């Protein structure tokens, strides 16, 4: 069993739709990260959370430590949001990664 589980695995949305990607984890963590990976491999860190909620532009990330769950929301989605979104948690001295959610936003 993976330490980090994401859902859905694949997601297709129409431009403008509100999108939610979920992440559940099974280990004790010091922080949770949401990452964005574009074709070709480049990974960019979007958020780092240890509690509560963070917002950056159209992106919102929340975490519930008691439930070991986090969500990434994208409001007013745009085709340029198309990418793989990866949830990662830091536990002890390691990072554990989910398998990613592949998002395609159709114009």
Partner 1 sequence: DTGVSQDPRHKITKRGQNVTFRCDPISEHNRLYWYRQTLGQGPEFLTYFQNEAQLEKSRLLSDRFSAERPKGSFSTLEIQRTEQGDSAMYLCASSFPWDNEKLFFGSGTQLSVL
- The site for partner 1 (CB under 8 A) is made up of 4, 30-31, 33, 35, 40-45, 48, 86, 88, 90, 93-100
Which one-letter DSSP state was computed for residue 81? G
By C-beta, is 27 or 76 nearer to partner 1? 27
| Least distance to partner 1, CB of residue 15, Å | 25
| Least distance to partner 1, CB of residue 45, Å | 6
CA distance 93 to 107: 41
Nearest alpha-carbon partner for 58 in 77, 85, 39: 77
- Which stretch of DSSP H or E encloses residue 93? none
| Least distance to partner 1, CB of residue 33, Å | 7
By C-beta, is 41 or 107 nearer to partner 1? 41
Check if the beta carbon of residue 85 is closer than 8 Å to that of residue 8.
no
By C-beta, is 42 or 57 nearer to partner 1? 42
By C-beta, is 19 or 33 nearer to partner 1? 33
Place of tokens 């980090």: 4
| Least distance to partner 1, CB of residue 69, Å | 17
| Paired strand residues for 74 | 19, 59
Which one-letter DSSP state was computed for residue 16? T
């Amino acid at each position: 069993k993976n330490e980090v589980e994401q859902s859905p695995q694949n997601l297709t949305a129409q431009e403008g739709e509100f999108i939610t990607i979920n992440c559940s984890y099974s280990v004790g963590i010091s922080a949770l990260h949401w990452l964005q990976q574009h074709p070709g491999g480049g990974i960019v860190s979007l958020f780092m959370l240890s509690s509560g909620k963070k917002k950056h532009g159209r992106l919102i990330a929340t975490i519930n430590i008691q439930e070991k769950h986090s969500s990434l929301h994208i409001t007013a989605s745009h085709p340029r949001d198309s990418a793989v979104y990866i949830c990662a948690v830091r536990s002890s001295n390691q990072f554990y990664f989910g398998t990613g959610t592949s998002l395609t936003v159709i114009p």
